[in-house]
Amino acid sequence: MKEIKYVVSNPNGVHARPCALLAQCCTNFRSQITVSVEEETASAQNVLELMALHAKKGDTLEIRIEGTDEEQAYKAVLQVLEHSFNEKKTAELLKIAFFGTKDYDRIFFSELSRDKGEGTYNCEIKYFSSNLGPETAGMAKGYDAVCVFVNDNVSRPVIEQLHDNGVRLILLRCAGFNNVDLEAAREYGLTVLRVPAYSPYAVAEHAMAILQEANRRLHKAYNKVRDNNFALSGLLGMDLHNKVAGIVGTGKIGICMARICKGYGMTVLGWDAYPNKALEEEGLLTYVEKEELFRRADLISLHAPLFPTTHHIVNAETIAMMKNTVMLVNTARGGLVDTEALIAALKQGKFHAVALDVYEGEDDNVYTDRSDQAIAEDITARLLMFPQVVMTSHQAFFTREAMQAIAVVTMENARNFNEGNDYGDAEVRA
């Protein structure tokens, strides 16, 4: 076990930003890391618990690190303490309009932004439940930045309005940016910053969870048992062991999914526009042409970004290449799959299982409660007709760890913009 004792010297105590950076650092390690102040103890991986310690100047932080990578964690924690716990603010207050927010957004962001003293993000946030779009862009007047999510509309007309209203920065609290007109942002001088990575484990674990739900018909089994029906008819699944998994897109999330599939005892094939040969050298997967992947795979998991080259990468032609018993899961972007072609194939008895966290036509439904309404959207209704289809509500990212990381990186992006620091991988260029 490693121990660190750190006396708080900042006159304003331990504020939001150092707590956030410490938590973000500690989530990278397997070791158990705790922080104690007098009788109170918090998990070092949880920013809200750290802030609840209310450590003030003169308090001693007792940090305990225990686990297989404690030496590496110890060094990383020392670096955070040295570089992030005594900084001073130099920039003016940055005003940010947050669009399309829910209660959970406000929990994670408000704690990070509320302080305006030393060592904080120096941001003022106004939350709007409305999504950003042509009708709501005027609400950003008087703000320096807007913060948006995957279902906000950041098209050219919206960007023109934002520019006219004095907005200089578009913060994406997500990795994808296909809803932003980057060319228009460049023309009008707006900086676009995203969250390049938050928790690839969250997305990959959700992909396997809903895939297994569809494969083993767990959604049907749950409802049958609730109706006092314990018959096994309609619940037949298949083993994943000794099957072939095809990973389309081998970035951080795709790698996590490949490791999960490997753990099931699957042979893993990969396709990516830019193959990572180190993954082959490690023995994790074998790269093949996407046509071969579609032909051989028993499970196809989509993790590619949505570009013109990947739009409808799953279409009538590629579906025809697939096995009739193939399983398909999409936790990336709806536009990767031609939904009409998918429905047509389902009608013909193709696919043992289809698991969709995203799909074309989801925009009007994402993060809305329509439980008191009939399903009016045709694509959703047709997909839900098929017993082998499972759908979730664009929630693959939605874990405590991911939300924490999204909040921290987004606020770091705001701070870097405000103080003229380097953006790193967060900047999105046209």
- Encode pLDDT of 387-428 as tens digits: 999 999 999 999 989 999 999 999 999 999 998 889 999 999
Please provide the average confidence, as pLDDT, over all residues in the chain: 91
**Tokens in use for 354?**
């289809």
Three-state DSSP at 103 gives helix
Dihedral over alpha carbons 84, 93, 150, 28 (to 10 degrees):
0
Convert the pLDDT of each residue in 25-37 to its tens digit. Answer: 998 898 999 999 9
Q: What kind of architecture, by CATH, is found in domain 2-84? A: 2-Layer Sandwich (3.30)
User: Which are the catalytic amino acids?
Assistant: 333, 362, 394
From CA 405, how far away is CA 400, in angstroms rounded? 9
The arithmetic mean of pLDDT across residues 224-238, rounded, is: 94
pLDDT of residue 376: 60
CATH code of the domain made up of 94-198+400-426: 3.40.50.720
CATH level 2 (architecture), domain 200-391: 3-Layer(aba) Sandwich (3.40)
d(CA 223, CA 359): 24
Q: Which amino acid is residue 359, in one-letter code?
A: Y
What DSSP designation does 294 have? Answer: H
Chain segment 40-53, per-residue pLDDT in tens: 999 999 888 898 88
User: If you write DSSP's letter for every residue of 351-404 in order, what string do you get?
Assistant: -SEEEESS-TT-TTTTT---TTS----HHHHHHTT-TTEEE--S-TT-SHHHHH
In this prediction, residue 237 carries a pLDDT of 96
Query: Each residue of 94-119: b (16+ CB within 10 Å) or e?
Result: bbbbbbbbeeebeebbebbbebeebb
pLDDT at position 217: 96
Give 275-322 pLDDT, tens digit per residue.
999 999 999 999 999 999 999 999 999 999 999 999 999 999 999 999
* pTM for the model: 0.79
pLDDT tens-digit readout, 337-363: 999 999 999 999 999 999 999 999 776
Q: Of 239, 290, 246, give the one whose Cα is nearest residue 267.
A: 246
Q: What phi and psi values does residue 249 have, to the nearest 5 degrees?
A: 100, 110
Domain parsing of the chain, residue ranges: 2-84, 94-198+400-426, 200-391
Number of other CB atoms surrounding residue 120 within 10 Å: 22
Confidence of residue 17 (pLDDT cuts 50, 70, 90): confident
Name the residue among 423, 351, 418, 430 with its Cα closest to residue 123. 418
- Summarize pLDDT for 197-229 with one digit per residue, the tens: 888 999 999 999 999 999 999 999 999 999 999
> Do the domains spanning 2-84 and 94-198+400-426 agree at the CATH topology level?
no
